Amino acid sequence: MFDIIIIGAGTAGISAYKEAVKHTNNILIINDGPWDTTCARVGCMPSKVLISTANRMFDIQNAQEVALEVSSKINTDQVMQHVQTLRDRFTQATLKDVEQWPAEHKISGKAHFIDSQTVEVNGQQYQSKSFILAVGSTPNYDQTWKKELGNRLITTDQIFELKTLPKSIAVIGSGVIALEIAQAMHRLGIETTIFARSKRIGVLTSPRLQQLAQKELGKELKILFETLPNEVKGSEENAVLTYQLDETEKTLKVEYVLAATGRTSLIDTLK
């Protein structure tokens, strides 16, 4: 029987292991999937690389505001390779750390609880006095959309795997992640449309700040408030979204649809 079993090797699981191993070597960490973190692989680190690139492009295009005249040819073909190169550097740093842990401390596989002291992984059962659950989360999206759109529907876990920047994208959601990716895409020359379920963006609770944020972001971004597609169709080349706007049915054809509508805990997968 182990003193502690940690399930999940993301940011929380890795931090828990580093602290727990100070007190006991009778420890096991179980992980299903890559032994790195959401932040490094598909979260804040690659997104900030993309945002930084987009902001530099924005500065170049608006250099006249600081009395500079800039004339240059901008090629965005290598943007995603740049993002992925730095992303891989971030994840390798984490993986290098994990590789130094004793082999008997870690198992790759999907864990399921048998009872309050027992989990099963790869057909083998392990018991522990205590468990730390750090299983992370997965993107939310309408499952019926995946059936209709196929590979034209991507999530925040997949967008940084694109080989090249798309020519157009529809972003479903108006939270912080949706907005920052949409703004970066727009600044990199991608035709970007945001579908917002409500008359609200981000996490701002102040009506006045909401009004100001919507006004400022609206100067740059196309945000369709209180509007969601009521029908989606996908093909090998694009996605077609049908929606109502001012009592008129409209359609939008884009290369990808990005579902950025939050994340759901994976805790239920342990059952």
Mention every residue, 6+ apart, whose C-beta is less than 8 A from residue 128: 1, 2, 3, 4, 5, 28, 117, 119
Residue spans in the chain of domains classed CATH 3.50.50.60: 1-135, 139-263
* Cα distance between residue 93 and residue 160, in whole Å: 18
* Cα distance between residue 228 and residue 118, in whole Å: 44
Classify domain 1-135 at the CATH class level. Answer: alpha beta
* Cα distance between residue 120 and residue 269, in whole Å: 13
- pLDDT tens-digit map of 110-134: 999 999 999 999 999 999 999 999 9
Burial code (b: 16+ CB inside 10 Å, e: under 16) for 205-241 equals eeeeeeeebbeebeeebebbeebbbeebebeeebbbb
Average pLDDT over every residue of 177-190: 96
Classify domain 139-263 at the CATH class level. Answer: alpha beta
- pLDDT tens-digit map of 81-104: 999 999 999 999 889 999 999 999
Mean pLDDT taken over the chain:
94
At 38, the pLDDT band (50, 70, 90 cuts) reads: confident
Residue 73 has pLDDT above 80, yes or no: no
Average pLDDT over every residue of 163-191: 96
Range from 37-41, 241-245, 255-259, 263-267 carrying the lowest mean pLDDT: 37-41
Average pLDDT over every residue of 231-240: 95
Residue 72 has pLDDT above 80, yes or no: no
- pLDDT tens-digit map of 190-225: 999 999 999 999 999 999 999 999 999 999 999 999
pTM of the model: 0.90
pLDDT above 90 covers what percent of the chain? 88
**What pLDDT does residue 75 have?**
85
